[in-house]
Structure 1
Amino acid sequence: MLFRALAIGLILLAASPALSTAQTALSTEAAGSDPRHVMIPAPDGRTIDLSVWTAPDERGVIVFSPGFNSTPAAYHRILSAWVGHGYSVIAPLHVDSLQHPQHADYDNRAAFATRIMDMAVARSVVRATHPGKPIIAAGHSFGSLISLIEGGAVTAAGAHGDPDLKGVIALSSAGDIPGLVSPTTWEGLDIPLMLITGDRDLVPGFVADWRDHRRPFDASPAGGKTLIIFEGADHEFVDNADDSDFALVIEATEAFLDAYATGDADALARLNALPAPDGVSIERR
């Protein structure tokens, strides 16, 4: 089956990452607007570059997976807002990033499997260095697919969900990738989800109809699911949103984080009552 053998082999190795390295590296970490880079030896012999933003008065931790070819730094606008709200962020530099020093050594199939491993290692680092803190998975585009898998979605690569996750924030999606995503993929996504997309959210070669991005919301079990659709928003909306739209993204995601990471009943009420301004639709299941 496509992806399965490579993915399973890597994930089995990921059960015991070099956490002592992470504990040592993070022991003197300071909060700030720029991330600290922590290099973690990977079970498959690579070194994973983790960007780590530590929040003051930390409420929880977000493990973030960037879009294909991208970097954690490209998402500074939204990540810094979450950090300022009390959520530390740990984000790997995946091998498909154009800035990864070994980018040319990996094809797309290997990039998928190593992303799964990267996020398993990142979550293990969170458990070791932020014990007891709630964990939320988040990602953009290809990274959102990885985050949805962390949350319980089952692809042709098998099940790699983490029962410790409190929820998933998906900024757009990678679409229904043939041979990987099946009609039953989203049935396992039985935790809270916030999915943000737009009616111009197209991905050449992958998403020809922006409505494809709805599927994790529509086809997963109901309960704690929120879908926000911005009129005119494209696939890079997380970066190019104007100030008013971006403010709504931050308001919505921070209410989601507080509601499901920390169990804040007032935040849940705000999330469920969040009004949709002109040009925006909000759906809930």
Structure 2
Amino acid sequence: MRRLASLPVLAALMAVALVSGCTGQPEPARWVTPSPSPAGTVAPRLAQVAPLPPLPVPRAALDVSRQEVTYRREGRVLRTVIWTPSTPSKVPAVVFSHGLNGTPESFAPLLTAWASAGFVVIAPAYPNTTRSAPRLDVYDVLNQPADATFVLTQVLAGPLGKRIDGDRLAAAGHSAGAITTVGLFTAGRDARLHAGIVLAGSGLGVGTAFTGTPASLLFVHGDADPLVSYASGKATYDVVPWSKAMLTVPGGNHNDPYLQPGAASFIAVRSLTLAFLRLELYGDTSARQQLPSGPSFDDRL
């Protein structure tokens, strides 16, 4: 099977399981802006993302059902957990990628919050990076964008596809899953995706050659992350040519903002990601108030 890249540094940075760093004293999260252009040059105008027509947004929490489906791609077994909101109308969907030595279930508090707000959440367990893998293979992260695309295609083609609005799709992921997500907008571009959420990730291995129709991207990164450096996430954010935003979590480590429901940073990330998904996939203009304005995230809505 062809790999997108083969970089020894990937193993050096991500060959350990998810770990926590020092959280430090809580400080307000802050938005960041792209790095300045070199002297004597003018920053390119970011490509705007075509807004989707508004869709009625659920204003109360919906009941959520959970199911498991197993797909197979070229011998790769992809156990997939799907959380579905109880609504008779078609709704947007998000394909979510877990981190190294993680599972879809590890992110249930965040993903069920998305589902109860009106999003189908599709979360594959990748065969060689999930916690139950017989042998953890960090390089297999580079095959995961193709896995995610395959799983999304299978879900849309199956019975659940009738519940999903195929024009309102996003990808999201944490750590190695965030690298997978970046890959879905670079080397493994999935043209169906309208938006993406990168949680503690970078373009390591999958590159930063963002391509295809512009999509809105949201980055979230703790500046005390000991595993995927804040600098690498910021560097990837800087070169995104489309509408984008990045939230810095001061003192934030690799896990708490995404995996610990009791952490203040988790509550902030849950609220922020829901606002972003409502804006981008539902066209909900009221969600715009929770997101930044200015040249790094256009105010087209």
TM normalised by structure 2 equals 0.68
Could you tell me whether the CA contact under 8 Å between 1:37 and 1:51 is conserved in 2?
Answer: yes
Equivalent pairs counted in the alignment come to: 232
Could you tell me whether the CA contact under 8 Å between 1:187 and 1:220 is conserved in 2?
Answer: no
Q: Which letter does structure 2 place at the counterpart of 1:160?
A: G
122-131 vs 72-81, greater mean Cα deviation: 122-131
Q: Could you say which residue in structure 2 is the equivalent of 1:38?
A: 69
Distance apart, 1:97 and its partner CA: 3.6
For the residues of structure 1 that align with 2:124 and 2:188, how far apart are their CA atoms? 17
For the residues of structure 1 that align with 2:141 and 2:179, how far apart are their CA atoms? 13
For the residues of structure 1 that align with 2:130 and 2:70, how far apart are their CA atoms? 18
Q: Deviations over 1:160-217 (max 9, x none)?
A: 21121110011111x453xx255x53466931011111111121xxx4x422211222
Q: Highest relative contact order (Cα 8 Å, sep 6+), 1 or 2?
A: 2
Q: Could you say which residue in structure 2 is the equivalent of 1:194?
A: 218
Q: Deviations over 1:240-265 (max 9, x none)?
A: 36443322212211111011112222
SS at match of 2:101: coil
For the residues of structure 1 that align with 2:275 and 2:223, how far apart are their CA atoms? 23
Q: Which runs of 5+ in 2 are unaligned?
A: 7-61
For the residues of structure 2 that align with 1:241 and 1:229, how far apart are their CA atoms? 18
Distance apart, 1:146 and its partner CA: 0.9
Does residue 274 of structure 2 align to residue 254 of structure 1?
Answer: yes
Of Structure 1 and Structure 2, which has the larger fraction of its residues in helix?
A: 1
Q: State, as a whole percentage, how many aligned pairs show the same letter.
A: 25
Could you tell me whether the CA contact under 8 Å between 1:186 and 1:216 is conserved in 2?
Answer: no
TM normalised by structure 1 equals 0.72
Q: Deviations over 1:121-149 (max 9, x none)?
A: 22102422325341110000010111112
SS at match of 1:201: coil
Q: Could you say which residue in structure 2 is the equivalent of 1:165?
A: 193
Q: Could you say which residue in structure 2 is the equivalent of 1:215?
A: 235
Does residue 231 of structure 2 align to residue 231 of structure 1?
Answer: no
SS at match of 1:54: strand
Q: Which runs of 5+ in 1 are unaligned?
A: 7-30, 154-158, 274-282
For the residues of structure 2 that align with 1:130 and 1:34, how far apart are their CA atoms? 15
SS at match of 1:194: strand
For the residues of structure 2 that align with 1:97 and 1:110, how far apart are their CA atoms? 7
Distance apart, 1:93 and its partner CA: 0.9
Structure 1 residue aligned with 2:104, among 72, 82, 85?
72
Does residue 176 of structure 2 align to residue 142 of structure 1?
Answer: yes
